[in-house]
Amino acid sequence: MAGRTVLVRGLPTELPPDRVADKLTIHFLRSRNGGGDIAEVRVLPGPPPCGLVTFEAPEVAQRILKLKDHVLAIGGMQYPLEVTLHAEELSPDEVPRSCQL
């Protein structure tokens, strides 16, 4: 997964993780957001919650990182996202240190 996964912070806390994961998938699939084919989306509990989006190709992750203003729109609300490269390998139950404030 090296170079293909981005860490996403700034997710809404009031929505169920599966809905947030669906919205992240839609956002990062769109070419206008720099997106492309996605291998996996995980929303990890917080506080604060964060997401891991793994793309099929590392080039897509690099395009995502170059775009600075990612905003997730859900139900009329706007959530500014912070997107960074995620380099550490995790077990399925582990929360990345970078999610925690």
Tens of pLDDT, residue by residue over 22-75, are: 999 999 999 999 999 999 999 998 788 999 999 999 999 999 999 989 999 998
Going by the DSSP 8-state scheme, the letter that residue 98 receives in this structure is G
With tokens 């690099």, the residue in question is: 62
Tokens of 66: 């170059």
pTM, two decimals, is 0.85
Residue 90 in domain: no
Domains of the chain: total: 1
Give the torsion through C-alpha atoms of 17, 21, 22, 26, to 10 deg: 150
Give the Cβ contact number of residue 44 at 10 Å: 19
Any idea what the CATH number is for the domain that residue 19 is in?
3.30.70.330
Q: Is 65 helix (H, G, I), strand (E, B) or coil?
A: helix
Going by the DSSP 8-state scheme, the letter that residue 49 receives in this structure is P
